[in-house]
Structures are given as structure tokens and as C-alpha cells.
Amino acid sequence: MNELNDIVASAAQSFAQAATPAELENAKAQFLGKSGRMTELMKGMAALSVEDKKTRGAAINQAKQAIEAALAARRQALANAELQAQLQAEALDVSLPGRQRSQGGLHPVSLTLERIEAIFGSMGFEVAQGPEIETDWFNFTALNTPEDHPARSMHDTFYVEGGSAQAPNLLRTHTSPMQIRHAVQHVKKHLAAIDDGAGMPEIRVIAPGRTYRVDSDATHSPMFHQCEGLWIGENVSFKDLKVIFTAFCRTFFESDDLVLRFRPSFFPFTEPSAEIDIQFVSGPLAGRWLEVAGSGQVHPNVVRNMGLDPERYIGFAFGMGPDRLTMLRYGVNDLRLFFDGDIRFLSQFQ
Ligand code: PHE
């Protein structure tokens, strides 16, 4: 009987040593196959007596069952191991961040321009766009700016090719030429009503865009933004400018804790003229007057250049700096950051 125990033990050992299902099948053949050790033992029973056959047969059967059980257990173990290995190989690391497409966003100054357009839009202002390469007429002459005005010098204005000596082309130094361009279009559209005395619908427009001056430091960039505002009608006064601009500032900065000051100033195209300063009553900027726009009642000569009778039509204009407004809103202290294109700076506004 020891012999049977030895066979069972050696079968268990070979099964344990089989590292793959194929090796296990080979090991099985050695014991249970056609010429395997157990099969040989069965064959050897032919010569035994009936009595011996019974006891021997029972013992061999038991041993065979033990071997089959060991085989089944090893098969299961190998299958488990294989499954485990496969799971490991195909595992998903759910803690890894997914592959994302990086999302772009609007430039902070563009955000400000959108805001300005939305706020003035809600107050009935149209939005107009105009060329950045202007003529001397629209940028200066039509705006009542004299020939010898310092703003016309090469030190302040970028002149570009394409014009004539009498009418040079230049990069617009402000958005004010849009006052003339837009008003002329408006007048053309409503000429019949103006001519027959009925009068035209009011001009109420803002014109945001890029402007250029020969200037560069922490608070000046050769390219910067402006937004022009113009309101012309038969009964538009400085009071309306104050109301409109105060409402704009309070909405833009989301604060009623803010006061405005109209500081007397001079522009050739407005009379009287004022710089508009704002002051926050609370918060990090509290207590300082901050200049945000130039403004004034549109000069009669300019109204005339719009094609309108200054005795009948009157109104105001303003020009503000969206770059400056952006700096104040977000607490940015160097204008150049807006134009460096550094993604680390820009992505903070998304
Ligand atoms: N164009 C002026 C500037 O650039 C601002 C301004 C616009 C002033 C409209 C009065 C009226 O400084």
C-alpha cells in the first residue's frame, strides 16, 4: 500500500511543479494516461485472486481519486493564476487623470470688451467697428484737431504708407474717428427724415477696438484698446453722460460703493471736456482717484462734420480705456502682462 501512497505523493508533487496547463497535462499522462503508472497498476491486477482484486482494486481506486482530486485542484489553481495575470495586465488605473483636450479661453481684455458691450447694449447702444488704419481726416481734421496739434507729430503717431502728403494714412491714435464714421452712416440712412424736418433717431453707439501711439512703459503700450461712446440727439446733455457713465461703472465693477468725478479738461473735439475719474469707497483701491475716460459735449464743428446742424443736434462723447478697466477689475499692475502672451498669466482669467 505504501507504493500507492508514494505514487499519490509523487503525482501531487509533479502537479505542483507544473507551471502551465500544458505541463500539467503532461504530468497527468504520466499517472493517468494510457501507459501511466496507475494504468499499469490496473493491468497488473489481472493475475490476482478475486479476494485480492477486491481489496487491491478499492485501494487503487482510492489512490486514483486522490490523484484526480490533486489534478483538479492544480488545474483550478493554474486557471486562477492565469486569470489573475490577465487582470493585472489589462488593469485600468482609474486614478490616472484622463486625457483632456486643453481648453482655450478669452483674453482678459476681450472679457472686458464683451462686458462693456453687454452693459452699453442693455442701455440701448449699438456696437460699431472701424478700421485701424485711418486717414488723417477721420483721426484728426474732422475731429477739430488743428494742424499744429502735438498729437499729430511723428513722436506720438505711427504714420503708415499709402496716403498722400496732404492726407497721410496712420494707425488710429484713438477710437474717436468712429464718431465721424458712424454718424455719417447714420445721417445717410436717415437723410430723408432729417431733410423733411422730422428729425433722425438718436445716435447711440459704442465703438471698441485697438488703437496705437508711440509710447511704451508699464502703463502704456504702443498698441492698446479704447472704447468710444457717442450719444447725439436733440436733447442730450451732460447730465445724461453722468447718468450713463455712472451706471456703467457701477455695473462693470459690480459695486455701488463707487463715486465719479468729472475733472475739467481739454479735447479739440469736445467743449466742455472732462476727464472721468472714479474712486472706490471700499476695497483694495479705496481712496484713490483713478482716471478711466476722457469725455465731453461734442464740439459744434464735429457735429457739422457729421453732416448735422449743431443748432439742432447736440450730445456727448467719451473714450475709455478697456485695458485700464481690466487692470482695475482684476488688480493687475503691469499693462505689458496683457500683451506678453504668457499662458500662465492668461489662464488665470478662465
Ligand atoms: N479720444 C480721446 C483720447 O484718446 C478721449 C475722448 C473721447 C475724449 C471722446 C472726449 C470725447 O484721449
Tell me the CATH number at 190. 3.30.930.10
Query: Are 156 and 301 found together in one domain?
Result: yes
Ligand 1 midpoint to CA 296 (Å): 8
Atom number, ligand 1, closest to the C-alpha of residue 295: 10
Ligand 1 midpoint to CA 262 (Å): 14
For residue 201, the Cα-to-chain-centroid distance in whole angstroms is 39
Q: Which amino acid is residue 347, in one-letter code? A: S
Query: Are 315 and 194 found together in one domain?
Result: yes
Q: Are the beta carbons of 262 and 274 closer than 8 angstroms?
A: yes
Query: Are 8 and 155 found together in one domain?
Result: no
CA atoms of 33 and 41, how far apart (whole Å)? 12
Radius of gyration of the chain (CA): 45
Ligand 1 midpoint to CA 285 (Å): 24
Query: Are 292 and 156 found together in one domain?
Result: yes
Please work out whether the CB of residue 267 comes within 6 Å of at least one atom of ligand 1.
yes
Out of 171, 269, 271, 316, mutate this one to test ligand 1's pocket (max ligand atoms within 8 Å of CB): namely 269
> For helices 2-17 and 21-32, what crossing angle results, to 10°?
160
Query: Are 170 and 279 found together in one domain?
Result: yes
* Total count of domains within the chain: 2
Which pTM value belongs to this model?
0.73
As separate numbers, helices (DSSP H) first and strands (DSSP E) second, the chain gives 13, 10
Residue 200: predicted pLDDT: 94
Please work out whether the CB of residue 318 comes within 6 Å of at least one atom of ligand 1.
yes
Please work out whether the CB of residue 296 comes within 6 Å of at least one atom of ligand 1.
yes
Neighbours of 350 (CB within 10 A): 10
Please work out whether the CB of residue 319 comes within 6 Å of at least one atom of ligand 1.
yes
Q: Does the residue 134 lie in any domain?
A: yes
Please work out whether the CB of residue 174 comes within 6 Å of at least one atom of ligand 1.
yes
Ligand 1 midpoint to CA 283 (Å): 28
Instruction: Give the β-pairing of 258-267 and 270-280.
Output: antiparallel
Q: Does the residue 94 lie in any domain?
A: no
Atom number, ligand 1, closest to the C-alpha of residue 318: 9
Residue 1: predicted pLDDT: 56
Q: Are the beta carbons of 127 and 208 closer than 8 angstroms?
A: yes
Q: Are the beta carbons of 159 and 168 closer than 8 angstroms?
A: yes
Q: Are the beta carbons of 135 and 163 closer than 8 angstroms?
A: yes
Query: Are 267 and 319 found together in one domain?
Result: yes
Query: Are 250 and 112 found together in one domain?
Result: yes
Q: Tell me the residue range of the domain where 122 lies.
A: 108-349
Query: Are 121 and 28 found together in one domain?
Result: no
Neighbours of 134 (CB within 10 A): 26
CA atoms of 170 and 281, how far apart (whole Å)? 41
Residue 99: predicted pLDDT: 86
Ligand 1 midpoint to CA 294 (Å): 5
Residue 218: predicted pLDDT: 81
Query: Are 82 and 162 found together in one domain?
Result: no
DSSP 249-278: HHHHTT-SSEEEEEEEEEETTEEEEEEEEE
Listed as ranges, residues in the chain with pLDDT below 50 are none
- Closest residue by Cα to atom 4, ligand 1, is 174
Name the region of 167 (left: φ>0; alpha: ψ -120 to 50; beta: rest).
Answer: beta
Q: Does the residue 30 lie in any domain?
A: yes
Residue 179: predicted pLDDT: 98
Query: Are 43 and 175 found together in one domain?
Result: no
Q: Which contacts qualify for 273-280: CB closer than 8 Å, 24 or more apart?
A: 273/297, 276/245, 276/318, 276/320, 278/249, 280/253, 280/255
Atom number, ligand 1, closest to the C-alpha of residue 319: 7
Query: Are 182 and 250 found together in one domain?
Result: yes
Q: Are the beta carbons of 233 and 114 closer than 8 angstroms?
A: no
